[in-house]
Structure 1
């Protein structure tokens, strides 16, 4: 959540977020919240004065107080009780609106409402290196200069979609996934599974060498974890809720995570941390998403699934915007390291205000790989600064150099997901229907080529 004083002093910025579509106007009534905020402050002040008066009288009571004093105490108790009830009602609505107010974007975040307004900041191809700025623009401008076929193809030919070559090579089974669990589920088999294991192993070793602490985390979490990461309430429809029957705590609802991020950050909830240097953590986990709003999109293949594997990178650091920007670029460099190691062409886009995604983000990069068979980019990684938005919800603090308690800053990054298999299939398929193994993964698979 945002700092309350910041909202009060910058209410026009919140109004602007509503106008551009970043905040939901049906959930964030600014005028109502301001009125509730005034009423809340007034009631808090009033009830504190009454409690002070009550406590003062109680401390001066004799062993046998007179009737007038007893009546005054009784009236004070009743008045305090009524104000507390009013305060509880007002705070409930005040908090409800507050939870829908998103983080305020950094100045360098592009204006705009949709993906068409996102701005490319980099594009890379293994045979070219980084593209010149003249080849970059909005959305997918650099795609005009990307290849028609895979970067590791044996000759120029029209590549087939990942679902065709993956099925022919026996790397995954979509029909079996649908039979067992329904649509948007799949089995990875044999070399398909090994390619994922190999890529994830490559990335995890890199992160450990960079000083990240690996975690194995719960993927069933309580509501607080998802609220803390800001996936609740705004993205609650993307989350699977599990009926808590036959459990030790049947009254406590549990939810399947769409990323290990909620688990990772909630691990540090209600703590005062030593942030003399940033805390860097990583976790690989299965992830689950309902994909509400995407039904009917990307129905073929494994791109959009209800369950998938993912490695998450998270950082907790001191509250410093410039250092957060530096750490943001550092996380991006790790994303780029993986794709350049695998020789997968990609671009990086600075997401516009209206396309920042979940409400904690104040700046976000998406890394998308080039998909030759579709002649478009496919999202693979996201990388966000969330300032102290999540830390305020989770009560994660540290002491600054003056000993003052402050809320920490957090950052998150998708290190790699199952979609990396799509990128490999697109860029390493050969004209005879075989698949070359990326050089960096060959020791793991003990082969150079997968044949039909």
Structure 2
């Protein structure tokens, strides 16, 4: 949820943010009206409760002759209090609904527009010219790394097995990410992949993209699409000690996405699948530290992309493609030779206080007063990285060179086609 203080002091900034996202700026006025109605309802209920308290005292002091009339008036007042409290509860619910409907306020400088309106901030490395390049699935099958056919037999379309060196390559990639994270102050976590509705809702994933999420109706639990969700919920309703600096976690988990609305897109290989693995960085910090921490997350992502030796670019995502929680998002996209384009490998989002306000995550400032924390997240490695590694490091004989940083984990420097 956005900061109510921003709404009251600078509603135009919230309207401008909504417009940049391509969302309804009228929701800002609706929230302001709901806030006003909520305050009025609270005041009315408080006044009636105070009147009821005074009436109770008067009854205790009244003479026997006056008491019946006072009791009758008190009964009538009690009904008014009940009605006022019901009105207050309804006003609170309406306010919360209006508040939850507004996306995070974007940070100054975020490009306006939608999916195609990003700004390229940097391009690193020169794509190789690879005659007769094979795609990652052809390479993966020839090398005995990926088995899509049996994945579909066992689980359906968009499922797969990573086999042999394919599994070792992913595990090596993730171990590299974990070591990089822990060397930079992250605590490694293996979180639950099923979460309660209030945690999924608190992170902002039950809004426009709720149809992407698998829901176990019988248990009322959701399968996570990223360990950002359980890590955001880890400190829900807590007051954190941030006196020593940001709290950083690296979550290693399987992730699940329905890929609703992606019919016909990326049906070949492991670019867009229902289940994949990921190491996700997650940070809690003071709001004034968030932008610097965002740059640090991007720096660690760039360090890992350099380690796998693939050309990539960094883009500043446009407001309409941020998702409701992010105030700014950077993506790193790797070059995919057979597609002759860049594809996303990492995202890192500054969610400011949006998620923490929903989840009740706070810290104490220098005066000991509880304040809402800020949260950030960023990809440190995913299964999709195998696509970039295989395609960019393929050799004319069908083998694939393993990036030097991954050789100790994989156990070989070259993967050769199996018989």
TM-score by length of 1: 0.87
Q: Of residues 198, 206, 209 in structure 1, which corresponds to 2:183? A: 209
SS at structure 2 position matched to 1:115: coil
> 1:409 aligned to 356, 374, 379, which one?
374
Corresponding residue of 1:433: 398
Output aligned runs, 1:33-432, within 5 Å: 33-62=31-60, 66-110=67-111, 112-125=112-125, 146-149=126-129, 156-244=130-218, 253-276=220-243, 277-320=245-288, 323-356=289-322, 358-432=323-397
1: CA distance, partners of 2:247 / 2:201: 21
Counterpart CA distance in 2 for 1:225 and 1:36 is 24
SS in 2 for 1:74: helix
Distance in 2 between the 1:409 and 1:14 partners? 18
Pairwise CA distance, 1:93? 3.0
Following the alignment from structure 1 to structure 2, what is the Cα–Cα distance between the partners of residues 310 and 348? 20
Alignment partner, residue 408 of structure 2 = 443
Q: CA RMSD in A?
A: 1.8
Tell me if structure 2 keeps the 8 A contact 1:269–1:396. Answer: yes
Distance 1:334 1:31 in 2: 40
- CA gap of 1:24–1:165, structure 2 versus 1, over 3 A, is farther
Secondary structure of the corresponding residue to residue 287 of structure 2? coil
Q: Any idea what the Cα deviations from partners look like across 1:353-403, whole Å, max 9, x if unmatched?
A: 1221x2111111001111111110010100111111111111111111122
| C-alpha contact (below 8 Å) 2:285/2:374 kept by paired residues | yes
Which ranges in structure 2 are unaligned for 5 or more consecutive residues? none
Give me the TM-score of the superposition, normalised by structure 2. Answer: 0.94
Q: 1:18 to 1:398 in 2, by over 3 A?
A: closer
Distance 2:239 2:365 in 1: 11
What displacement does 1:324 show?
A: 1.6
Given that residues 366 and 381 in structure 1 are in contact (C-alpha distance below 8 angstroms), is that contact kept between their aligned partners in structure 2?
yes
Distance, in Å, in 2 between the alignment partners of 1:391 and 1:51 is 33
Structure 1, 47-56 or 79-88: larger mean CA deviation: 79-88
The answer as to whether partners of 1:370 and 1:376 remain within 8 angstroms in 2 is yes
Q: Is the 8 A contact 2:251 2:281 kept in 1?
A: yes
What is the CA–CA distance in structure 1 between the aligned matches of 2:399 and 2:24, rounded to whole Å?
49
Report deviation, 1:234: 3.1
Displaced runs of 4+ in structure 1, greater than 4 A? none
DSSP-derived class of the 2:116 partner: helix
Unaligned 5+ segments in structure 1 are: 126-145, 150-155, 245-249
